[in-house]
Amino acid sequence: MRTSKLIAIAGLVLFGLSGPASDANAATVLWTVQSATFNDGGTLSGSFDFDATTTTYSNVALTTTTGQVLTGDSYSSCQFGNTCPGAFIGFGVIRLLNLVFAAALTDAGGTVGFGLGPTGTTEENEAFSFPPTVLASRNLISGGVTGVPDVSAVPLPATLPLFATGLGALGLLGWRRKRKA
């Protein structure tokens, strides 16, 4: 009888100390560019994964097309916030895509517009200087992104609470059985 009580108490204590279930992995959302056009006629297309919890980009595959001001470029990473470095244009000049969103990207996904106009999303040729010198730029005048959460980011129950619950239930069953006898 004493062993059954101890098992039940140990199971309940372990269950109480184990805490909530943990995520299987970070909640990454696939964001796809929709109908994005620059003021010089060029366009932006592609997609990227974004984890709002850690504010990190991955699997970046963004492409711009040639317009009246800038030629097209490809972007495979985003860093320092929402800055995506592109090709080196020449000595001391780099192409940058600066992503600005009208609202925060979340782990729930949805549709978010780009920040538009001169203070919004821009693509530019920038010279390495302090402060940086913009040599040529263009601004997005339309578009946004649509996000779809990664289905593999489903929370998994922690194994310790399940084990503790089972151990506690076995202890209680044994205790009740001995008590009735």
Q: How far, in Å, CA of 85 to CA of 32, rounded? A: 19
Same domain, 42 and 78: yes
Has this prediction a pTM greater than 0.85? Answer: no
**One domain, residues 175 and 88:** no
Residues 124 and 52 in one domain: yes
Together in a domain, 40 and 56: yes
What's the number of domains the chain is made of? Answer: 2
Do 55 and 16 fall into the same domain?
A: no
The parent domain of residue 50 ranges over: 28-149
Mark whether 55 and 99 lie in a shared domain: yes
Alpha carbon dihedral 78, 116, 46, 69, in 10-degree steps, equals -90
What pLDDT, on the 0 to 100 scale, is given for residue 24?
A: 46
Same domain flag for 87 and 164: no
Domain match, 94 and 33 both:
yes
Please indicate, yes or no, whether residues 18 and 32 belong to a single structural domain of this protein: no
Residues 85 and 160 in one domain: no
Q: Are 141 and 52 members of one domain?
A: yes
Residue that wins the pLDDT comparison between 88 and 139: 139
Q: Are both 62 and 123 inside the same structural domain?
A: yes
- For the chain, the distance separating the N- and C-terminal CA atoms, rounded to the nearest angstrom, is 11
> Once rounded to an integer, what is the mean pLDDT over residues 56-68?
95
pLDDT tens digits for range 64-111: 999 999 999 999 999 877 899 998 887 788 999 999 999 999 999 999
Over pLDDT 70: what percentage of the chain? Answer: 72
Highest mean pLDDT among 12-16, 124-128, 159-163: 124-128
Express the helix, strand and coil content of the chain in percent, nearest 5 each: 20, 45, 35
Segment 143-159 shows an average pLDDT of 72
